[in-house]
Amino acid sequence: MQTYTWNGDYPLYRVLDENGVVCGQLPSLSDDKIIEMYRWMIITRYFDQRAVNLQRQGRTGTYAPFSGQEAAQIGSFALIEKDDWLFTSYRDLAGLMYYGFPMHQSLFFSMGHPFGGHVPEDMNVLPYQIIIGAQTLHAVGTAWASKLKGENRVSVTYFGDGATSQGDFHEALNFASVYKAPTIFFCQNNQWAISVPLHRQMATPTIAQKALAYGMEGIRVDGNDLFAVYNAMKRAVDRGRAGEGPTLIEAVTYRLGSHTTADDPTRYRDADELMEWKDKRDPIIRLRKFLENKGIWNESLQKDAEQQAKVLVDEAIAAAESFPKPNPADVFDYVYSTATPDLVEQKTKFLQHGGRER
């Protein structure tokens, strides 16, 4: 049996193989905790499917699916504490909902509602970023501030493989490394940056090895293996809290759906490639096989979990659609706590030309 370790060769670190068979060191998680995480993988997968359907029905706007990346997100978010700082992209809703972000509010962004950027007061979570890679710099800033203040916090930023082609990504890694800022750079390498495959983005065989140039630790992990992701994230979090500096994690996964609902992946992606990942490497199927092999999961529990997911998601959709519709004039009020003179002027002109005010 192959043993996977963190070393300079950046192998793919795994704990479960595609059949749910243990091939590495299991994390210290109770059966109840594993089942809870699995149930959330089912819930978020169903949410994602419904969200796509809502867009197709004209009930929301453009939406970015995350199916296939549930293990990468939930397995890593499980290590983030409430005092830590979190900076995500638009494709990280599975992790955010598991972390405690309200499910109904997760729909507001694609509905075009200004409240979509609101974050619950008890969470150090910034609104998810649309500008590719920009959140990496924000994470370094809070991490450095936490270090200067003597706080035992880490800052975690999530991004896709396409973001590694942006200058912000490299600037963030360099700054974090120089100042040993407790930053965790979590890249979900889902193989595609819209229609651009990974091999067209870079000449290096892995993203994790980019850490070498910046003097930080790099980990390449099977992103569809919940336990491997958990172990890799724990190592990174422990290093950050111990003052050992930043870590770059490359979670190798796959985007089963489209880049967004405005995209048609059949125009650039081979169907055989999709089926290979969907049939043989689906993170939910893999974890279910492990649970069944262990004797703590069965078809009855599966049906119960799927029904629970349906109820929760249906309730969230009903709550989101019953929320008061946004006033177009409100867009000027959600930029700064006190509107600047130019925003006041813009709002005035907007109202003069037929805009609606409460």
Burial 94-129 (b: 16+ CB within 10 A, else e): bbbbbbebbbbbbbbbbbebeebeebeeeebbbebb
What three-state secondary structure class fits 215?
coil
Catalytic residue, from 45, 153, 259, 286: name it: 259
Helices (H), ranges, 155-296 = 167-178, 198-201, 210-213, 226-241, 271-280, 283-294
Is 255 catalytic? The answer is yes
Closest among 134, 132, 121 to 91, alpha carbons compared:
132
Paired strand residues for 196: 193
What is the Cα–Cα distance from 9 to 6, expressed in whole angstroms?
Answer: 8
Catalytic residue, from 56, 118, 200, 268: name it: 268
What is the residue type of 321? E
Is 336 catalytic? The answer is no
| 303 burial level (CB within 10 Å; 0-12, 13-18, 19+) | exposed
**∠ at Cα 196 (194, 200), nearest 5°?**
155
| 302 burial level (CB within 10 Å; 0-12, 13-18, 19+) | middle
Is 4 catalytic? The answer is no
Phi, psi at 267, each rounded to 5°: -80, -20
Catalytic residue, from 220, 255, 281, 288: name it: 255
Residues with active-site annotation: 255, 259, 268
